[in-house]
Amino acid sequence: MTMFYILLVFILTGLLTLFLGPIKVLRNIVALLGYLAGSALFIYNIKPGLIYSLNIRVYNIHFESGFSTVFFGIIILAVFLIFLLASFHEENDGAYYLFAFLTLTGAIGVLFAKDLISFFFLFETMSLFSFLMVLKGKNKNSPKSAFKYLVWSVFGGYAFLFGTFLKVYTTHSVMIGDISFIGGHIKLLILLLILTPFMVKAALMPFHLWAPDAYSDSKDAFTVFFSGGLSKIGIFGYFIALFKIFTEIASKYPWFLTVIAWLGGITATLAGIYAFMQDDAKKLLAYSSISQLGYVAVGFGIYTHYSVVAAFFHALGHAVYESLLFLVVAGVYYRVKTTDLRKMGGLIKKMPLSFIGLLFGIIATSGIPPTIGFPSKWLLYEAVIMKGDLLLTSLVFFASITAFLYSYKLVHSIFLGKLHKEHRDVKEAPLGYATGIILLLIPLFVLGVAPGIAVKHIDYIIRFYLKPELGYNLTTMTTPLGHVNFPVVGIVMVSMFVLSLIIYFIFGSTYKADQTDNYTATEAISDDFELHYAGEFYGFMRKAFGRPLKWSFEKLLNAFLKLFAFIGEIARGFYMGDARVYLFYLVLFFSLLAYLMGGKL
């Protein structure tokens, strides 16, 4: 029953904020209180193993909570808190919170669902209201991006529904349960169909087309939740599909897993390349988010105990640092009103906290200890190497390189280099953003040093399905390849950093200049001249990769769309005659049927 109440609390909070109308402060407070009430209910009452069902005449809604529910629920709720903190400073209205809370309802509800129809209901709720959220977005392109997002997510949802019905038809059960025993290859079709919406949500290529636009064109605060929170539903779905629905996938269709792993690898790499070619901070982050989610798919594709642990942990890490990065960019946008990397620079002194947040965010993204990005990457590399697929291994490693590249571009373009004139009076991001940054920095380090806290929980989720191979305690992990102690690695890393800093201070020659100084050698240039290196950042890379990437999946899709449009035109032609033609259809219809009946008359 609690599960139902939690959802109810969120829905009611949304409705209440809608009716509070024009009073912003009240709205914010109610939203926060409602959120706190709901999350308190969740954290104190939701234990694995709860069951609840509700009968509405023809359908029964079945809820169940498991370890995965708690794991993903806490991630999503935490990210939602960050979103709330940021949205206090956003332009918001009643509908904004209504949509946000209904999205949250859907996202949390999906975790509870035990039967596929409820799952679909809540999944669609989530898609629908996040679509409305994007539609309300911040710029002219938002409606278009929202449209793309809607079509893609409904495509996924319908595939899921088709899969559901195939499953119900073949197994006579609507519950989320095993389909491995079904004869024939229909089970693979069911799996594929059920997996589709999650691949869409987790933006696995080639289902990622909506993601960059939708991420970058939604409101900044919402992007935090969108990328950090909602994509986790995709990961949750991988877990549901590959472990709960098709338990024997590894023995029956190993190649299917390989395909997923490869898709993940390709996603990680290609999205990384796309990322460093972007000139818009949010687009860059969107691609970075997609790229990171690719790693998760790799983890699931390899399908060993520690690879899946890595995938889950990476999802957790993704939630932390991706939210952090988007939050920082949202704060910067709040102050400088742009996300165009070419129009920023040198904000380090104006917004030091944001800088620190972004810095550690990108450090985590690149997987450097002692942050949360390191344990998962480490495990994942080991898993890839153990699998012995050299090509995939090199792909994944290459993807990490792109992560360095775009991370650096981000931090350089926003915070380093020359300060723009119009940004002289910029202040630090306001309280909500700052609180969010600090709140996110805590797990970023804590889980980086002591990943055991989370790994223990992840292990509970999957140990039922996979043979435990990973040894761990609070701060260490043991794999077939070796043993790692995270605090030690972290200390080594930090001391290396300190060492190099000392060397730099002793031996480096520095010249102190104002942030707006035009530091040219001999030529005299006026102060207005922009010398910040941001416009053609990685221009050589663009030259190298740009042309092959021109051919895109999007074009193929457009061709398909044109085909349907053509068929539609033909169908429409039927309705373009005059009255006599319509009468002719009638007579023709009569004659045809009479002819078909033939001798029976």
Site residues, other proteins (CB under 8 A): 56-59, 102, 106, 117, 121-122, 124-125, 128, 132, 135, 140, 142-144, 146-147, 150-151, 154-155, 158-159, 161-162, 165-166, 168-169, 564-565, 567-572, 574-591, 593-594, 597, 600-601
| Residue (139 or 394) nearer to other proteins, CB | 139
User: What is the distance between the alpha carbons of residues 441 and 450, in angstroms, rounded to a whole number?
Assistant: 14
Tokens of 351: 């917004």
Q: Which two tokens stand for residue 463?
A: 């140990």
527 to each of 120, 420, 435, how far by Cα in Å?
A: 58, 10, 36
Confirm if 264 and 298 have CB atoms less than 8 A apart. Answer: yes
CA 125-130-134 angle, to 5 degrees, is: 150
User: CA-to-CA distance for 352 and 274, rounded, in angstroms?
Assistant: 28
CB 207, min distance to other proteins, A: 14
Q: Report CA torsion sign: 113, 118, 120, 121.
A: negative
Encoding tokens for residue 524? 């005299």
Q: Which is nearer to other proteins, 516 or 591 (CB)?
A: 591
- For the CB of residue 194, give the shortest distance to other proteins in the complex, in Å: 13
Compute the least distance from the CB of residue 587 to other proteins, in Å: 5
Distance CA(62)–CA(51), nearest Å, equals 7
Instruction: Give the nearer residue to other proteins in terms of CB position, either 349 or 555.
Output: 555
Q: State in angstroms the smallest separation of the CB of 425 from other proteins.
A: 31
Please, which residue, 162 or 533, has the CB nearer to other proteins?
Answer: 162
Q: How many CA atoms lie within 13 A of 233 on its CB side?
A: 35
Closer to other proteins by CB, 154 or 446: give it. 154
* Minimum distance of other proteins from residue 574's CB (angstroms): 7
3-class secondary-structure state, position 183: coil
Q: To the nearest 10°, report the CA torsion of 484, 473, 372, 395.
A: 50
Q: Which is nearer to other proteins, 118 or 371 (CB)?
A: 118
Q: Which is nearer to other proteins, 88 or 97 (CB)?
A: 97
CB of 100 to other proteins, least distance (A): 15
Q: Which residue, 121 or 538, has its beta carbon nearer to other proteins?
A: 121
Cα dihedral angle (100, 103, 107, 108), rounded to 10 degrees? Answer: 60
Question: What does the DSSP 8-state code read for residue 418?
Answer: P
Task: Residue 223: name the closest of 314, 317, 145 by CA.
Answer: 145
Q: How far is the CB of 312 from other proteins (least distance, A)?
A: 28
Residue (of 444, 441, 439, 452) closest to 486 by Cα position: 452
Q: Which two tokens stand for residue 511?
A: 């010249």
Shortest CA distance to 428 belongs to which of 343, 503, 354, 512? 354
Q: How far is the CB of 161 from other proteins (least distance, A)?
A: 6
Distance between CA atoms of residues 191 and 179, nearest Å: 9
Q: Given the complex with other proteins, which of 106 and 317 has the nearer CB atom?
A: 106
Nearer to other proteins, 543 or 600 (CB): 600
Q: What is the smallest separation between the CB atom of 338 and other proteins, expressed in angstroms?
A: 21
Three-state DSSP state, 61: strand
Query: From the CB of 323, what's the least distance to other proteins, in Å?
Result: 26
